[in-house]
Chain A
Amino acid sequence: MDARHREHREGFALNEIAPPVVAIRGVEKRFANGTQALAPVDLDVRHGEFVTLLGPSGCGKTTLLNLIAGLIAPSRGAIKWWGNPFSATGSLGRKLGFVFQAPTLMPWARVDANVRLPLDLAHADRAHADRAVARALDLVDLEDFARHLPRELSGGMQMRVSIARALVTSPDLLLMDEPFGALDEFTRQRLDDEISKLWAAQRLTVVFVTHSVAEAVFLSTRVAVMGARPGRVLDAIAIDEPFPRGDTFRVSTTFASYAQRLSRLVAEAGAESAERT
């Protein structure tokens, strides 16, 4: 075990004293129509981690993320947030940020009003909100577009507005559901770089959903590989590579071997579930 690896492990050991940000224990989800979207899942997300849920379409990534967001309730099992049930997160002063697959902006509201929404809904102080919005727009490099309408921006810029909106409350946990799935490869790589920098600079805890192996390897501290029918977490693989990661990491052999390992896991899971059906 090399020095960097050991350091990483010790960091984790220190972390283990506090309860995990999210602790998922034996969580299942069966929808009203009888679809078993998730078989029992166990997963911990610790403070400061960047956990990616990776898997083929329909394996329950969005379902798991919605469970973590408290948008839907598990059919069986339990989830704890900072050691507490979801209803307690508000009184603990813990905040969640969510970035959806599509930008989901209010088309009638200007960029700054869109970013400000979470603060407005919480009746935040005006001056504080002004500052927070300016800072969030600055983080995603859109300070010059505050007075624009969403339709006047490109798809990538709209996605960045959506990220600014999620960051504006300084969330303790940021959830992102395939945020760049609809964008071209160049834009996606640039936004991946930005997200990675933001994560490091803001000391965020992130759960990120993607079906791109490369994106998962590039961004994550840990990748949870998921399989379909029924949706489940097959394995969680740590990506032990220092940050900041850049284009050199993208073309390195370490990157390639991680990508290969993840791809093989996903493929094996696919073959396995195909055999069963």
Chain B
Amino acid sequence: MNETTAVPRPLRIVAPVLLALAVIALWQILTDVYAVPSYLVPSPARVLETLVADRELLLRSLTVTLGIALVALLLATVFGTLTALVFVQSRWIEMSLFPYAVMLQVTPIVAIAPLIIIWVKNTWIALILCAVVVAIFPIISNTTLGLRSADPGLLNLFRLCRATRWQVLTRLRIPSALPYFFGGLRIASGLALIGAVVAEFVAGTGGSGAGLAYQILLAGFQLNIPRLFAALLLITATGVALFGVTIWVSRLALARWHESELGAAD
């Protein structure tokens, strides 16, 4: 919106891509010139080779990790939103429950994960549960804040019109909460992936259910550093893609009216 700081759209994509290319080129040159062994730092070409050579293994692991992250994100969205809706029904409910939501948030997932993995027999479900625990908090807190942020003037207007609680919720609170909700979703998408990877590390599940974290762990033990880099690259790419999707979804939903998305709409 700000004319002086506006960067033309093509440049916004071209600039980081150019930077990446430059860094990769420098990396390739340095590893070549100093003949760095690939078990310390593999050259970009070597990482790419591994990515292609191990594609079956890596893609299978990627599907596992991505599946866990997506299911966890979905569950966190559903249950986080429901929790927020319960919270705004009464200050008492919120007051008694919110501290526990905070406790859930501040306790590091690596500390809780072993317990969850012991208690829940099915590893896949245990991993999803861990990722949900990490991802749910921003959805709860943002959506609660959003539902409460409805314009007091409009709330008065609804009261003057003798609106029911249900009308206030559906016609005023939920639309007002949408921008906040999508902000929470954006953060949660990244956290779901982080939660999935961390839980996989703790669980150390191999075999057919091995995710990307396990590949990284294994590659580390075997000093197969090129594969470690390849797996790392995939995780990062997945995170960026997830983030991009949530931005795209929130734009679809809000572009029509909300300030934060006005630049995109016009």
> Are A106 and B172 within 8 A (Cβ)?
yes
> Are B157 and A100 within 8 A (Cβ)?
yes
Q: Mark A143-166, 1 if CB is under 8 A from B, else 0.
A: 000000101000000000000000
Complex: chain A residue closest to B168, CB-CB: A121
Residue numbers in A under 8 Å from B257 (CB-CB): 107-108, 149, 151
Q: How far is the CA of A104 from the CA of B153 in the complex (A)?
A: 6
Q: How far is the CA of A108 from the CA of B151 in the complex (A)?
A: 13
Main secondary structure of the interface of A (DSSP, over half): loop
Complex: chain A residue closest to B178, CB-CB: A108
Q: How far is the CA of A120 from the CA of B154 in the complex (A)?
A: 15
Which of A69, A102, A104, A120 has its CB near the most chain B CB atoms (within 10 A)?
A104
Give the size range of A's interface with the partner.
Answer: 10 to 19
Known A98-B157, A106-B175, A108-B175; judge A149-B163 contact (CB<8 A). no
Known A121-B167, A151-B257; judge A106-B161 contact (CB<8 A). no
Min CB–CB distance A237 → chain B (angstroms): 29
In chain B, positions 248-263 with a C-beta closer than 8 Å to chain A are: 256-258, 262
How many residues belonging to B are interface residues under a CB distance threshold of 8 Å?
20
Q: How far is the CA of A117 from the CA of B151 in the complex (A)?
A: 15
Whether a CB of chain B sits under 8 angstroms from the CB of A92 is: no
Min CB–CB distance A200 → chain B (angstroms): 25
Residue numbers in B under 8 Å from A70 (CB-CB): 160
> Are A121 and B175 within 8 A (Cβ)?
no
Q: How far is the CA of A104 from the CA of B157 in the complex (A)?
A: 9
Whether a CB of chain A sits under 8 angstroms from the CB of B243 is: no
From the candidates B154, B161, B167, B171, name the one contacting A104 in the complex (CB within 8 A): B154
Q: How far is the CA of A100 from the CA of B154 in the complex (A)?
A: 9
Whether a CB of chain B sits under 8 angstroms from the CB of A20 is: no
Q: List 27 A-B contacts (CB under 8 A).
A: A69-B160, A71-B156, A71-B159, A98-B156, A98-B157, A98-B160, A100-B156, A100-B157, A102-B153, A104-B151, A104-B153, A106-B172, A106-B175, A107-B257, A108-B175, A108-B256, A108-B257, A108-B258, A117-B157, A117-B161, A117-B171, A121-B158, A121-B162, A121-B163, A121-B171, A149-B257, A151-B262
Which positions in A face B, CB cutoff 8 Å?
Answer: 69-71, 90, 96, 98, 100, 102, 104, 106-108, 117-118, 120-122, 149, 151
Which positions in B face A, CB cutoff 8 Å?
Answer: 151, 153-154, 156-163, 167, 171-172, 175, 178, 256-258, 262
